[in-house]
Chain A
């Protein structure tokens, strides 16, 4: 079956590091996406992983383990503007996305 899980909400402090985890079960797995969504806005693309390992892009990094069906998004040097929902989505062989419910990240000063 198709399933994807991520925590509902996380809280972190400005300047700190936070890791948002995502586990998935996807037939014909064809990669995993992370999107950022601010309240009332559409999602914006952050990262895409299809091979095992860590992809670093500035303050944001994304990791994938295909054998474990596991990914995480790592946010460093947190800023207040990073307060948003972070959506994990796996893609199947038909390019269909299976979306997680999103993790609401709250940044405190």
Chain B
């Protein structure tokens, strides 16, 4: 299956700072990636779809100016949480969408735990 990495795996930052999370596809080219957020004891919530070479598509209610997505190459997508606040503390996960795997399953990165103090 596809291998997806994320960096960093965890980060602690002060309120008001910006945090960049990288998502890399290691063994294939991904024109599209999904970014999810998961709060404790809740399910995955799709934030946005990252498109290589074009603007990301954001889900309703997700502030595009706060969560900046850049998909500059076929192997790298980045999510920047700008001016982070404690309520942004969450588990952020990227994934490669269906269509690239045998069963159309998504392959997830290991996730990034963000804690904003």
Are the C-beta atoms of A41 and B110 separated by less than 8 Å? Answer: yes
Interface size on B, residues (CB 8 A): 23
Closest residue to A46 on the B side, CB-wise? Answer: B105
Chain B residues positioned under 8 Å from A87 (CB to CB): 43-44
Q: Which of B60-68, B71-79, B92-100 contacts A (4 or more CB under 8 A)?
A: B92-100
Q: How many A-B residue pairs have CB under 8 A?
A: 49
A91–B109 alpha-carbon span in the complex (Å): 19
**B90 contacts partner chain A, Cβ-Cβ < 8 Å:** no
Q: Which residues of B contact A95 (CB under 8 A)?
A: 97-99, 104
Q: Give the docked Cα–Cα distance between A100 and B43 (Å).
A: 6
Q: Is A7 an interface residue (CB 8 A)?
A: no
Min distance, Cβ B5 to any Cβ of chain A, angstroms: 11
A42 touches B108 (CB 8 A): yes
A102 to B41, CA, bound (A): 8
The yes or no answer to A97 lying at the interface (CB within 8 A) is: yes
CB contacts under 8 Å to B, within A16-64, are 30-31, 33, 40-45, 48
Cβ B105 vs Cβ A48 within 8 A: yes
For residue A69, give the distance in angstroms from its CB to the closest CB of chain B.
18
Interface on B for A, CB 8 Å cutoff?
A: 1, 41-46, 91, 93, 95, 97-99, 103-111, 113
Q: Which residues of A contact B (CB under 8 A)?
A: 30-31, 33, 40-45, 48, 87, 91, 95-97, 99-102, 104
